[in-house]
Amino acid sequence: MYQLNVEEAGPRLEELIGEASSGENIVITTRNGTAVRLVPVGTTGVPRFGSARGLFEMAEDFDAPLEDFAQYER
């Protein structure tokens, strides 16, 4: 982690964003003592069909009637 003030961070902002994206912990401070942390925001991707293949299994009786609802069946 390293800390720098707004004046130092301004010209290096693109570089600092790259470092934060790589996991570096960066704190930017102002003259009045306010501090912020520069952290990457996770990107949201579009899920691809079939991307969860093999992550779970369905039981053979997955769609079998439940005993609790037997009285409601005709």
Alpha-carbon gap, residue 34 to 15, rounded angstroms:
22
Neighbours of 57 (CB within 10 A): 7
Q: Is 24 helix (H, G, I), strand (E, B) or coil?
A: coil
Model pLDDT for residues 30-74, shown as the tens digit of each residue:
999 899 999 888 777 788 898 889 999 999 999 998 889 988 887
9 pLDDT higher than 90: yes
* DSSP code, position 7: H
pLDDT at 10: 92
Model pLDDT for residues 33-43, shown as the tens digit of each residue:
899 999 888 77
pLDDT at 70: 87
Structural domains for the chain = 2-38 (3.40.1620.10)
Q: Is 38 helix (H, G, I), strand (E, B) or coil?
A: strand
8 pLDDT higher than 80: yes
Q: Counting every residue, how long is the chain?
A: 74
* DSSP code, position 65: P
CA 26 to chain centre: 19
pTM of the model: 0.54
